[in-house]
Amino acid sequence: MTCIRPHKKILYPLASLGALVLVWHLVVALELVPHYLLPSPVEVVFALINEFCLLVMHAQTTLVEALLGLVIGVVLAVICAIIMDRFEDFYLAFEPLATLSQTIPTIAIAPLLVLWFGYGLLPKIILVILTSFFPVLVSFVSGLASVDHDMIDLMRIMHASRWQIFWHVKMPAALEQFFAGLSIAAAYAIVSAVIAEWLGGIAGLGVYMTRVRKSFAYDRMFASIIVISSLSLLLMAAMRGLAYVGMPWKHRETQRSGQETHAAGQEEHRPTQSNANQQR
Q: Read off the CATH number of the domain in which 73 is found.
A: 1.10.3720.10
Q: Judge whether 166 lies within some domain.
A: no
- Domain holding 190, by residue range, is 41-148+174-249
Percentage of the chain lying above the pLDDT 70 cut = 86
Q: What is the pTM of this model?
A: 0.78
Would 9 be classed as within a structural domain? no
Q: What is the pLDDT of residue 169?
A: 82
Residue 42 pLDDT class (50, 70, 90 cuts): confident
Q: What domain count does the chain have?
A: 1
User: What was the pLDDT predicted at 76?
Assistant: 94
What does the DSSP assignment read for 161-229?
A: -HHHHIIIIIHHHHHHHHHHHHHHHHHHHHHHHHHHHHTS-SSSHHHHHHHHHHTT-HHHHHHHHHHHH
CA distance 75 to 71: 6
Q: Which of 212, 210, 193 is nearest to 60 (CA)?
A: 193
Whether residue 123 is contained in a domain is answered as yes
The secondary structure of the chain in percent helix, strand, coil, rounded to multiples of 5, reads: 85, 0, 15
Is position 192 within any domain? yes
- Encode 97-123: b = buried (16+ Cβ within 10 Å), e = exposed: ebeeeeeeebeebbeebbeeeeeebeb
Q: Whats the size of the chain, residue-wise?
A: 280
For the residues 117-127, what does the mean pLDDT come to? 86
Residue 229: how many CB atoms within 10 A of its CB? 13
Pairwise CA distance, residues 10 & 17, whole Å: 11
pLDDT at 1: 47
Task: Please tell me the distance from the alpha carbon of residue 169 to that of residue 171, in angstroms, as a whole number.
Answer: 6
Write down the pLDDT at residue 173: 82
What's the angle, vertex CA 115, arms to CA 113 and CA 119, rounded to 5? Answer: 80
H helices of 87-159, where?
88-101, 106-117, 121-145, 149-157
The pLDDT value recorded for residue 71 is: 94
Contact 8, 190 (CB under 8 A): no
Task: Report the distance separating Cα 182 and Cα 136, nearest Å.
Answer: 6
pLDDT exceeds 70 at position 273 = no
**What pLDDT is recorded for position 72?**
95
Over residues 120-133, the mean pLDDT reads 89
Indicate left, alpha or beta for 217 from its phi (over 0: left) and psi (-120 to 50: alpha): beta
- How much is the average pLDDT of 84-97? 86
Task: Please check whether residue 158 lies inside any domain of the structure.
Answer: no
What percent of the chain has a predicted confidence (pLDDT) above 90? 14
Q: Is residue 23 part of a domain?
A: no
Q: What is the mean pLDDT of residues 26-34?
A: 83
For the stretch 206-260, pLDDT in tens is 888 888 888 888 888 899 999 999 999 999 889 888 888 877 776 665 555 555 5
Do 144 and 170 form a contact (C-beta atoms < 8 A)?
Answer: yes
Using CA atoms, how far residue 263 sits from 117, 257, 268, in Å, is 60, 10, 9
- What is the pLDDT at residue 260? 54
Q: How far apart are CA 106 and CA 130, in angstroms?
A: 9
Whether 159 is covered by a domain: the verdict is no
pLDDT tier at 121, thresholds 50, 70, 90? confident
User: Residue 260 falls within a domain, yes or no?
Assistant: no
